[in-house]
Each structure stands twice: as C-alpha cells, then as structure tokens.
Amino acid sequence: MQKRNLGAGSLEVSAMGLGCMRLSPGHGTVAGTRQEMIALIRAAVERGVTFFDTAEVYGPFVNEELVGEALAPMRDQVVIATKFGFQIDSEKDPHPVGLNSRPEYIKETVEGSLKRLRVDAIDLLYQHRVDPNVPIEDVAGAVKDLIQEGKVKHFGLSEAGAQTIRRAHAIQPVTALQSEYSLWWKRPEEEIIPTLEELGIGFVPFSPLGKGFLTGTITENTQFDQEDNRGSFPRFSPEARKACDIRSDRARLAPCTETLDRSYSRHHETGAP
C-alpha cells in the first residue's frame, strides 16, 4: 500500500483510506452484522489500510464506537479521523438539529469522541461543516487549544471554501480538507485544490465512487430504501439516472479513469472509499 503525507505536519496515511460511515446504522442498510463490520475494519488494517474515517454524527455516536472497538487492538498502527460540527441532542432526538461549532460545544464533543474511540488523542479532527454563526477563527482557536492540551493531533476542515480555509489556516495550520471529489464531481479542481497546493494542505476526497453511482450498480430502475439518503439527492433522481446510465458508458469512462489516476498522483491525494 502506498503512503501519503497530509499537510505540512506530515501526517502519514495509507493512500487508500476506509470511510466507515456506512458500517453502522443511520446511513442506509448496513451490509452485515456489527461483528462482521468489526472484522471488515480489521481486515482492512491487515491489507495495509492505516487511515480510518468516522464522525460523531454517523449514527450518531455508534459509528465512532464501532471504529473505536475495531481498532483498539491495533491503535498504534492506524490514524483515526473524526468530525464535529452538528448539534445532536441525544436524549430527545438522535438526529442532528443543525450546526454547532461554538468552541465550548467543540470541546464537549471531543470528550465524547475520545471515549467512544477509546483513544487518548484524536489523530485528525475535522470541522464537518462550516457553521455560519461561528467565525472560523474561533473554531480554529478551539482546535488549537485542544492540540495544546494533547487531545487532538491535527486539524481538518470538510466542505470549506477557499477563503475559509485560508482564515482557519492562519490561526491553526490545517492538515487536510475533506470534500467530495470523483469523476462526476470535479469542482474542487477549480479553486480548492490550487489553494491546498499553495498552502501545503492535504486533500481527502469523499464519495470517490460517486456514492455508488460510478460502480455501475445504480440504474434507472433502482429503488432506494427509506434509510438510503440517495433517494433524496437530485443526482439520483429517476430522470438523472435515466439520462446517465454508466453501464452503457463504460467505453467513455475508461479515459476518464486514467485522467483521474494521473490527477491523484499529481496532487498526492488520499481516498476514503
């Protein structure tokens, strides 16, 4: 397995990461039992994957618990990334009720993540979504405090714009940005990737398989079950799926794949499939 260094802080991770979001309930049908998902995560480590992605909001909470339990025996071999940023009132309703990146809430959230992940420090802590009600400088300042306290090692952002990245980076160096990037979503190439290259920040593309669209399993006749949020995305509407059936387009896809491979090497990106 190839390795990548994320950001100037040289956080070394495997070129291919494992996004764990769909390995626990809350984001579509889980492909097996909890024990099978734990075995899957451990099998990824055996195959050289050292980069694992989760978030407080996945579940919520249960995904961090799963990742924490699965990786506890091999903690020293892996990098665990998690995210804060959604307001979750677990007592009344497990669903997030909005964004919350207030510094005191970030610090409270991190205490929970540390326990669920069974770690002394979070290797990479992302803000999951930019909170328009909290200046990004305050968010970066809160993460800086957590780094100084030894509870967090590296700071990340997710789906942030170029100006936000610059402002955050000026307060606390950003190690990685995580945003959607794949053959059917290349917008980061316009402004984000050049900004990251200039600032020396790593890029972690999420949904590299287009949330399954690029694997050819989705057709115009696919029925999404109630838990599967793809049913609500315009890109997965029956009309969009009818207009773009990837299975009949394999010949046209091949050169795109080569382009993407070259682009991946050039930018030293790391994937979180």
Ligand X SMILES: NC(=O)c1ccc[n+]([C@@H]2O[C@H](COP(=O)([O-])OP(=O)(O)OC[C@H]3O[C@@H](n4cnc5c(N)ncnc54)[C@H](OP(=O)(O)O)[C@@H]3O)[C@@H](O)[C@H]2O)c1
Q: Which residues bind to ligand X, rule: CB under 6 A?
A: 19-22, 28, 53, 128, 158-159, 178, 206-212, 215, 217, 228-230, 272-273
Handedness of CA 232, 182, 247, 228 (dihedral sign): negative
Q: How are strands ordered across the β-sheet holding 122-127?
A: 18-19, 51-53, 79-84, 122-127, 152-158, 174-180, 202-206
Tell me the DSSP string of 182-234: BTTB-GGGTTHHHHHHHHT-EEEEE-TTGGGGGGT---TT----TT-GGGG-G
In the complex, least distance from residue 40 CB atom to ligand X, rounded to whole angstroms:
12
Could you give the residue ranges of the DSSP H alpha helices within the chain? 34-46, 62-71, 103-117, 136-148, 162-171, 192-199, 238-243, 250-267
Residues marked as catalytic: 58
In the complex, least distance from residue 148 CB atom to ligand X, rounded to whole angstroms:
25
In the complex, least distance from residue 94 CB atom to ligand X, rounded to whole angstroms:
18
Measured from the CB atom, is 25 or 273 closer to ligand X? Answer: 273
Q: Tell me the residue nearest to ligand X as measured from the CB.
A: 19
CB atoms within 10 A of CB 91: 6
Q: Rounded to the nearest 5 degrees, what angle is found at the Cα of 166, between the Cα atoms of 151 and 211? A: 75
Measured from the CB atom, is 28 or 60 closer to ligand X? Answer: 28
Measured from the CB atom, is 48 or 148 closer to ligand X? Answer: 48
Measured from the CB atom, is 17 or 173 closer to ligand X? Answer: 17
In the complex, least distance from residue 255 CB atom to ligand X, rounded to whole angstroms:
20
